[in-house]
């Protein structure tokens, strides 16, 4: 029986959150292995990070004239080939259609740099900082949520962490603190989810239930 969960990471850019998970898996900090890093951008640093770690680094670009639905069907076929237990959107910048999401029920998690119900969509940290500069907020946060449908940053919440916005913050210092919180929350959350999944598999295995094949 597989003793570690299989993680497929999907990222469109720098991939620092992917790196946090790659490092945690390599250090044995969570019972999981990253089996692939996938990006829709050929020049994404996330792919460079995966390659440096000896992991499959897969670019899945959109073909000329290809519809969202056809792209997502092709993407789903590629991800399925890695037999994931969880698919993690860690800086994935495309809204996925049900043509992808439907293949991975209760398996897709998204990381978003804001608290539930706040700042959906792109540039959430920049928007939080701008609101703080206008004296409209003094904190933001990070959340991890399931992605059951095509809604933007509004699926069932798994974990959250607050991030204060300090009076002397710059956008750079706020981004650094948000990213550090993301890395910590990702690793802690996936440790819990993977531990629970593996325990459930053990509990329901034929050997555990006294059935020998």
Catalytic site residue 112?
yes
**Is 147 inside a domain boundary?**
yes
Domain residue limits at 19: 5-203
Residues whose CB falls within 8 Å of the CB of residue 98, separated by 6 or more in sequence, listed in order: 149, 150
Position 212 confidence tier, pLDDT thresholds 50, 70, 90: very low
- Given a cut of 90, whether residue 14 has pLDDT beyond it is yes
Name the phi and psi angles at 105, rounded to 5. Answer: -65, 135
pLDDT digits (tens, 9 = 90+) for 114-131: 999 999 999 999 999 999
Does residue 170 lie in a domain region?
yes
Mean pLDDT, rounded, of the chain? 94
Percent helix, percent strand, percent coil in the chain, to nearest 5: 35, 20, 45
Q: How do residues 137-178 score in pLDDT, each as one tens digit?
A: 999 999 999 999 888 888 999 999 999 999 999 999 999 999
Whether residue 209 lies inside any domain: the answer is no
Report if residue 59 sits inside a domain.
yes
Q: What is the pLDDT of residue 156?
A: 95
Mean pLDDT for the stretch of residues 4-25: 97
pLDDT of residue 211: 45
Nearest-angstrom CA–CA distance, 17 and 40: 16
Catalytic residue among 59, 112, 179, 212: 112
Q: Is residue 114 part of a domain?
A: yes
Determine, yes or no, domain membership for 212. Answer: no
Strand partners, 180: none
* 213 belongs to a structural domain: no
Task: Work out the percent of the chain whose per-residue pLDDT is above 90.
Answer: 88
Q: How far is CA 48 from the centre of its chain?
A: 17
pLDDT of residue 1: 46
- The answer, as to whether pTM is greater than 0.85, is yes
pLDDT of residue 166: 97
Lowest mean pLDDT among 2-6, 33-37, 209-213: 209-213
Question: Which CATH number characterizes residue 49's domain?
Answer: 3.40.50.170
Which pLDDT score is estimated for 62? 92
> Predicted confidence band at 74 (pLDDT cuts at 50, 70, 90)?
very high
pLDDT band (50, 70, 90) for residue 203: confident
For the chain, the domain total comes to: 1
Mean pLDDT to the nearest integer, 50-59: 98
- 20-32 residue pLDDT tens: 999 999 999 999 9
């Amino acid at each position: 029986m597989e003793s570690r969960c299989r993680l497929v990471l999907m990222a469109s850019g720098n991939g620092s959150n992917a790196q946090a998970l790659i490092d945690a898996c390599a250090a044995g900090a969570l019972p999981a292995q990253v089996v692939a890093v996938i990006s829709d951008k050929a020049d994404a640093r996330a792919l460079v990070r995966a390659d440096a770690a000896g992991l499959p680094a897969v670019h899945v670009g959109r073909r000329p004239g290809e519809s969202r639905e056809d792209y997502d069907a092709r993407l789903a076929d590629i991800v399925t080939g890695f037999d994931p237990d969880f698919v993690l959107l860690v800086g994935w910048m495309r809204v996925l259609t049900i043509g992808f999401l439907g293949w991975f029920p209760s398996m897709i998690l998204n990381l978003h740099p804001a608290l539930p119900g706040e700042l959906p969509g792109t540039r959430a940290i920049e928007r939080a900082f701008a609101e703080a500069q206008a004296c409209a907020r003094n904190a933001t946060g990070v959340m991890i949520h399931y992605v059951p449908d095509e809604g933007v940053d509004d699926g069932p919440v798994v974990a959250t962490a607050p991030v204060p916005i300090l009076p002397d913050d710059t956008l750079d210092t706020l981004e650094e603190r948000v990213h550090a919180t993301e890395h910590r929350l990702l690793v802690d959350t996936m440790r819990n989810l993977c531990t629970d999944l593996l325990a459930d598999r053990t509990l329901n295995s034929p050997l555990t239930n006294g059935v020998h094949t």
